[in-house]
Structure 1
């Protein structure tokens, strides 16, 4: 590989010399309209022209200045960019046990290539990939800041080309007994950042208020915010979500893991779907660094989801990272580094976020509900068919992408993807 790299550097140098120190127009025209002499990984001259034009590397100025070492270093940088890893799917985990669901089971091994990327979590400094690097796995660390920092470092790394990559966020989360049950696999259409609000302690709030959180620039709970930070709501590509949901439901629902402990705890709830076996369902996810529990906060944030999406989203699962990851992805798309329409979010129910009859909210939180084991297992059971579908149908469907619906809200709450890079959306 090193010999190939330096050989390509020399080729680039000769091309630059033959161009008479010009702006690499000869290289930009090389091989146009021909299939002969293509670079590995189908990286053609057209690809080079669009992505890595030599005029951006400063090779000509180095030649003029006679800096041969500078030429070689910058040529090597260009070649390393061309040979960047180009995964078809990246599984995004948040902590070690979620990552292990894939690292311990996926075949071929995700430990074939372990790529250290500067800026990733100090606890999880590597991206793990198969030998072909068609599937990779990254662990962000828990919480919004860790997720945003890790994914931003990933997107700007020159070790990866992620413009055609599908990002499969797959982890455990709390689940509402009104919408699902322990072990259920939930594919999200919306992610809602529910704690981005004002708050008062119950003892300090007006006595007539049902809830103690209220949106920015409003006067009481359940009013739509008159000021937003841009990360409160994300809508995913629902055409993609529907496809992967149907694939998972068909191929995985009958295989979902369960436990006797989870079954016993479910039986404490009098109504479906809480007391039913786990299923693959559609539902939406909340993001909050606050690890909330109990019927009061859960009901409150259910209302926030309804308010922020005008009733379009269905509060189902709770998590701590997804809006942060999706915001990084929106910015990466605007920077030409990734494609937001290729994001998928799966959360599996590890615990109920409120108590069944007969238990206090605190006792329910501390209770061994039995859901974490099945939820961890079901990340892989429900997620594997999605990865396999992407790989199996790459040429026919996924390579070109699945277009989001042509109308309606899409992306972040500011809809910044509707505006060209460098243009701020009207707020």
Structure 2
């Protein structure tokens, strides 16, 4: 009885929130123009308040960009923050694919905003493959690959010769060809826009520390993982399972290669990207957003696997929220690389409102 009452109350609360937003639009739509959003900055988590404490992914945007105006967002994860002069909106989706999809949908359907010409920038932290990049490096994303939509059997029960117990949804074996239809398994971001963002930021000097220099020296078999932080392009595997270790890292590389026909290179592992993209794809069908204006960057807070001679659990044991080996440098570098791109779009809005930027 209590369960059904709770379920009824939650359902009706959501209905009331939706009706309230609709009523607000009907009553005020003729009098109040929706805010024309030029850029949406999408962070995935924040640790406490959005100012004056230990930062998460969002705080530097609020304090430094700045995003000074708080806008209540009761039907989302956290309140929104707005820079009226620049037309830049910041949001925090919450951790995970489901929260990302729900939050993006909620904000895009909010009648207070017009996202028809908005650029979207996801800027967050991630685990990086040491074969491709080092701690605190920043990756502009070319492909987003979903790591959840699949079948799984324990490898100990798998047929002889299988390298993994994971295989594509609607397939009968790992890496089956031809591939099943794309039901949200992969998203290719606008290559021209990604290349433009990379070209504008590839020479930026990134934060480095002695602590992460010491850690990266352990990765003696991967030269790219030993370099000081740098900006690169690469592919992003989005999955709800926070995996770690050399075996899972090999699967991630193979999974990305499979879904991109070898055109993508696995670099970053995090959660929310595929949820954000499926939401935006649905919203685009209603002409509410333009998916050709989506950019994503991820900064390396940790590696996705252990160093030579180490174990997966040794490597993973020190990687907890706020304690990742490159947590603060990765947050700093995500803002350092992302903010010039946002400012450039705003500065040249007369052009970029209708014509997407590209490398000259």
- State the match for 1:266 in structure 2: 216
Q: Does 1:373 align with 2:328?
A: yes
The CA deviation at 1:401 is: 2.9
Structure-1 residue corresponding to 2:342: 387
Q: 8 Å contact 1:237–1:342 — kept in the other structure?
A: yes
Q: Which of residues 90, 110, 113 in structure 1 aligns to 2:67?
A: 110
Residue of structure 1 in register with 2:354 after alignment: 400
Q: Is the 8 A contact 1:101 1:379 kept in 2?
A: no
User: CA–CA distance in 2 between the matches of 1:313 and 1:224?
Assistant: 17
* Matches of 2:74 and 2:282, distance apart in 1: 19
Cα separation, 2, equivalents of 1:302 and 1:287: 12
| Structure with the higher strand share, 1 or 2 | 2
Give the match for residue 44 of structure 2. 94
Q: 2: distance between equivalents of 1:75 and 1:98?
A: 36
Aligned residues between the structures: 322
TM-score of the aligned structures, taking structure 2 as reference length: 0.85
Give me the whole-angstrom Cα distance separating, in 2, the residues matched to 1:257 and 1:185. Answer: 11
Query: Which string of whole-angstrom CA distances, capped at 9 and with x for unpartnered residues, describes residues 66-101 of structure 1?
Result: xxxxxx995633222xx1111211100000000112
- Of 281, 291, 309 in structure 2, the residue corresponding to residue 340 of structure 1 is 291
Deviation string, structure 1 residues 8-64 (Cα, Å, up to 9, x no partner): xxxxxxxxxxxxxxxxxxxxxxxxxxxxxxxxxxxxxxxxxxxxxxxxxxxxxxxxx
CA distance in 1, matches of 2:25, 2:215: 62
Q: Secondary structure at the match of 2:61?
A: helix
- Over aligned residues, Cα RMSD in angstroms? 2.0
Q: Is the 8 A contact 1:177 1:273 kept in 2?
A: yes
* Distance change >3 Å, CA 200–CA 131, structure 1 → 2: same
Q: Could you list the runs of 5+ residues in structure 2 that have no partner in the other structure? A: 1-23, 47-55
CA distance in 2, matches of 1:116, 1:275: 44
Residues 242 and 306 (structure 1 numbering): CA distance in 2 closer, same or farther, change over 3 Å?
Answer: same
1:243 alignment partner, one of 196, 202, 205:
196
Shift of 1:263: 0.5
CA distance in structure 1 between the partners assigned to 2:91 and 2:27 by the alignment: 29
- Determine the structure 1 residue equivalent to 2:19: none
SS of structure 1 residue aligned to 2:64: coil
TM score, norm. by length of structure 1: 0.72
